[in-house]
């Protein structure tokens, strides 16, 4: 997973604006390198979000809510 402004490595919760699903991802790369994108997801993260094959979709990034890191439901 790539993001251009977060410190590396970083954990963020990604929530799909399409279906509300959430997944915790580790940002481990710089990017994305395309304009108007805030994050590039791995295939596994996109699958968990139900976004495979959907192309570019809106998501919300938040910081994990607890330690150990987890996304609020």
Strand 59-62 with 10-16, pairing: antiparallel
Provide mean pLDDT across the span 14-22. 93
Three-class DSSP category at 47: helix
Residue 3 has pLDDT above 80, yes or no: no
pLDDT at 65: 80
Residue 70 has pLDDT above 60, yes or no: yes
Tell me which of 25-29, 45-49, 66-70 is least confident: 66-70
Residue 2 has pLDDT above 70, yes or no: no
Residue 6 has pLDDT above 70, yes or no: no
Residue with tokens 């330690």: 67
Three-class DSSP category at 14: strand
């Amino acid at each position: 997973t790539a993001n251009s402004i977060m410190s590396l490595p970083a954990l963020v919760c990604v929530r799909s604006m399409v279906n509300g699903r959430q997944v915790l991802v580790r940002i481990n790369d710089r990017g994305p390198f395309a304009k108007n994108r805030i994050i590039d997801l791995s295939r596994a993260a996109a699958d968990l979000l139900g976004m495979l094959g959907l192309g570019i979709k809106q998501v919300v990034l938040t910081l994990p809510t607890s330690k150990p890191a987890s996304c609020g439901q």
